[in-house]
Amino acid sequence: MQNIQFENYTYGTKKFKRPITCPHCKISTASTVIEVNEIKSTEKYLNIIYECTSCHKEYYVCYMESAVSLIFDVLGIFPHPIFSERIFPETIHNISPNFPSLYNQAYFAEEHQKFDIAAMGYRKALEVLIKDFAINSLNKPQSEVLKKTLANSISEYLDGFDTFVAAECIRILGNDYTHYELRYTDVDFSYIRKYLDFFITRIEMQAITSSHPLVPVREYSQSESE
Ligand SMILES: [Zn+2]
């Protein structure tokens, strides 16, 4: 669901995930519960009407009782938040023309809670970005780059421990979603995209600083860095 964040919330005897982002104005808000309707059939459902404390518009969230916890799960929001693609800077488009589309395909899947597809998509987007970065920014031969595994590409073409860690986490978590059984079940899915967003910023800066400083700079010396 498009950038809609939730928090666990208790209302009377019910526990459910309350939106902390309004689907109308997209502002983070502790929405007010206006009405709770419980529907009992073979399963338990809740329909809750909220009012945004920022734009004061109402919206509806439908829930179903979870099979594994006491907290009702979100089935849908009305009005449904409109998906908007992530826009990338020109530097990223120049490094990897295919990356923005791959990222947004995965992002769309995540927004529609198709997490297996999204994880594999983010992993592929990462691999394409690193390999295009090696070819187009580091001028490595395409024939050499395309033969490398993602793990080897991460080891060889990236600068800095933080960048390495971010790429490794996306690779490992992305791989995890291709397996029959998830290993890292306690890791919140949103961290894959958070790591990727951090990684994109680092790649952009690495590309900018490694190609041509915008102004003449002194020769780099660690002892002078203070
Ligand atoms: Zn609002």
Alpha carbon distance 47, 60 (integer Å): 7
Distance 20 CA to ligand 1 centre (A): 10
Alpha carbon distance 14, 46 (integer Å): 9
Looking at the fold, whether 60 and 127 belong to one and the same domain comes out as: no
Instruction: Decide if 222 is inside a domain.
Output: no
Looking at the fold, whether 73 and 112 belong to one and the same domain comes out as: no
Looking at the fold, whether 94 and 206 belong to one and the same domain comes out as: yes
Looking at the fold, whether 123 and 158 belong to one and the same domain comes out as: yes
Looking at the fold, whether 52 and 143 belong to one and the same domain comes out as: no
Phi first, then psi: give them for residue 58, nearest 5 degrees.
Answer: -95, 155
Residues 6+ positions from 210 with CB-CB distance below 8 Å: 137, 138
Alpha carbon distance 188, 117 (integer Å): 16
Tell me which residue range forms the domain holding 104: 90-211
> Domain count of the chain?
2
**Domain end position, chosen among 78, 108, 126:** 78
DSSP letters, 173-191, are HHHHTTSSS-S-TTS-THH
Structure confidence at residue 44 (pLDDT): 87
Structure confidence at residue 226 (pLDDT): 46
Query: Per residue of the chain (226 residues), what is the pLDDT tens digit?
Result: 656 888 888 888 888 999 988 888 878 888 899 999 988 777 789 999 999 998 899 999 999 988 777 888 888 888 877 777 888 999 999 999 999 999 999 998 988 788 999 999 999 999 999 999 999 999 999 999 999 999 999 999 988 899 999 999 999 999 998 888 889 888 888 889 999 999 999 999 888 877 666 787 787 776 654 4
The CATH number of whichever domain residue 192 belongs to comes to 1.20.120
Looking at the fold, whether 101 and 201 belong to one and the same domain comes out as: yes
Looking at the fold, whether 98 and 203 belong to one and the same domain comes out as: yes
CA quadruple 53, 58, 61, 62: dihedral sign: positive
Distance 45 CA to ligand 1 centre (A): 24
Distance 181 CA to ligand 1 centre (A): 39
Distance 51 CA to ligand 1 centre (A): 8
pTM of the full structure:
0.65
Distance 59 CA to ligand 1 centre (A): 9
**Domain end position, chosen among 17, 44, 78:** 78
